[in-house]
Amino acid sequence: MQMIAFVEIVHAATGLVPSSPLNTFMQWLGRSNALYRIAQAIPELHANPAAPLMLACWSLGEVVRYPWYAATAANACPGWLTWLRYSAFIPIYPTGVVTEMVLMYLALPFIRDRGLFSVFMPNNYNFAFDYATFIAVVLLLYPYLWWGLYSTLLRQRRKKLSPPPTAAAKTD
């Protein structure tokens, strides 16, 4: 599913949906990393409650978003759905991001031990990549990048919901 979600970037880039392709790409990249290279690659993390919680947050977000797309496209979007689409993210999004960060943090010792996704010297390309260090830097940047996306959503919320929800639903 996460691989299929790549088409969202294409949708944004082609103007099919009005989202910014860069933001969509960042979210896709962040989630793919958390899913394929952290949660899936390290079996010890499966038992941690953060793993199912992370997936639940992602899914809940989409369960609201896609019906809203469908209803809007059919020109039959009820006001409460629009309200939900622009409100549900307020608790879901930070929870999802915190669980992603918890998993990444817990993954660090495993990545280091096993040398996961890392490249070591010596090699013919004289290149090295330490995935654990990379994740540590990503963890530092995450809150900053997350706030960029979250504030964009908050701004959209103000724009969409400032006229009464019913009116907003009609103009969409």
State which of residues 18, 49, 122, 164 lies at the interface with other proteins (CB under 8 A). 122
Minimum distance of other proteins from residue 119's CB (angstroms): 9
Question: What tokens appear for 172 in the block?
Answer: 């969409």
Site size toward other proteins (CB under 8 A) is 8
Using CB under 8 A, which residues numbered 102 to 121 contact other proteins? Answer: 121
Active-site annotation holds for 131? no
Active-site annotation holds for 125? no
Q: Does position 144 bind other proteins by CB under 8 A? A: no
Comparison of 1 and 121: residue with beta carbon closer to other proteins: 121
Q: Does position 123 bind other proteins by CB under 8 A? A: yes
The set of catalytic residues is 93, 100
